[in-house]
Chains A and B, each alone.
Chain A
Amino acid sequence: MSRQSTRGGDPRKVNGELFTLTYGALVSQLLKDYEDDDEVNKQLEKMGYNIGVRLIEDFLARSNTGRCNDFRETADVIAKVGFKMYLGITPVVSNWSPAGDEFSLLIENNPLTDFVELPPGHSSLCFSNLLCGVLKAALEMVRFLLYSSCSFFHLSFVCFLFHTAFVSPKFDVISLLVDFGCCLLC
């Protein structure tokens, strides 16, 4: 009776369930602590920010990506290299604005929301707001200054969006919009 262990091939990968469950436990702790969705969102973003500041270092050290020439390339690197490397997913980059300074990232099976069922009364909770903070910090460290961000998560609509607006180092507004959409199986 040998038990099959769940060992992945890549030594740098941890079990995805471990990460998802830890994140879930953390969000529920935050909800217990604050009882206010907006405050929880704020805390999640702050934590994401702190993670992003470190993560970008790790990303630059490991990914071997060079300098991005334009914003489209940046979006591609975020989706195809960053998300792939850290969460094992590849969001779809879409909804480019005509000026090329706004785009959406659509996540189809968001690993953060596996096993998640939100109780009623948390309509303004952005469950994956951590990602918002991570991106904000990571981009801020390399190129963009961000001036606002907001997001929402709706389990009944099974998608969440998050918008982020950035300012270039010269402070002319690029006003990039990052949308995060996720679809969950109901």
Chain B
Amino acid sequence: MADEVVFEYLHMEMISYLYRTAEKIEQDHCISKLESLGFRVGQSLSERFTKDSSRFKDELDTMKFICKDFWNSVYKKQVDNLRTNHQGVYVLQDNKFRFLTQISSGKQYMDAAPKYLAFPCGMIRGALSNLGINCVVTAEVSAMPACKFQIQIQRL
């Protein structure tokens, strides 16, 4: 058990490290690097969280696992709202996303939001990929601590 601030600071430092060491032109890569770091972590985490649980009934059941148990273990709360169009798009809404709560809620730091959301996006993608669902995860912020993650299932 680690304290949440330690994890939060580590996450912040990870971002600042990547941006500090990247060249100006390379800054787009930082997002994808963070995403792939998150992917790795999400993959291993979902493996550990589900090791004693029964098989998921369907895709929706897997999503509920992400919204409840996964979110609870990582962010200490559940997703506030889960919506789906039943065609492979799921929208997870978190009204008080932990990595954004320390940022001012005005419009001023909106540009900084993607940095702080790349890692979580990767975690969701990694967790789902380990549960057999390939997807693309994007995040969207309209008002600061609230955040929407859109999960688009990739079917072959």
Quick check: A14 and B65 within 8 Å, CB to CB?
A: no
List the B residue with the shortest CB-CB distance to A15: B73
Assess the B4–A51 pair: CB atoms within 8 A: no
CB-defined contacts of A87 to chain B, threshold 8 Å: 2-3, 6
Interface size on A, residues (CB 8 A): 40
Contact of A21 among B9, B13, B45 (CB under 8 A): B45
Residue of B nearest to A28 (CB): B40
Which chain A residues lie closer than 8 Å to B10 at the CB level? 19, 22-23, 26, 51
Complex contact B5–A26 (CB within 8 A): no
Residues from chain A with Cβ under 8 Å of B11 in the complex: 22
Identify whether the interface residues of B are mostly helix, strand, loop, or mixed: helix
**Which residue of chain B is the closest to A9 with respect to CB atoms?**
B1
How many of chain B's residues have a CB under 8 angstroms from any CB in A?
Answer: 33
**A55/B2 in contact, CB under 8 A:** no
Answer whether residue A1 sits at the interface, using C-beta atoms and an 8 A cutoff. yes
Distance of A103 Cα from B69 Cα, bound (Å): 42
| Interface residue B54 (Cβ < 8 Å from any Cβ of A) | yes
4 pairs of A and B residues whose beta carbons are closest in the complex: A19-B2, A5-B69, A88-B1, A3-B53
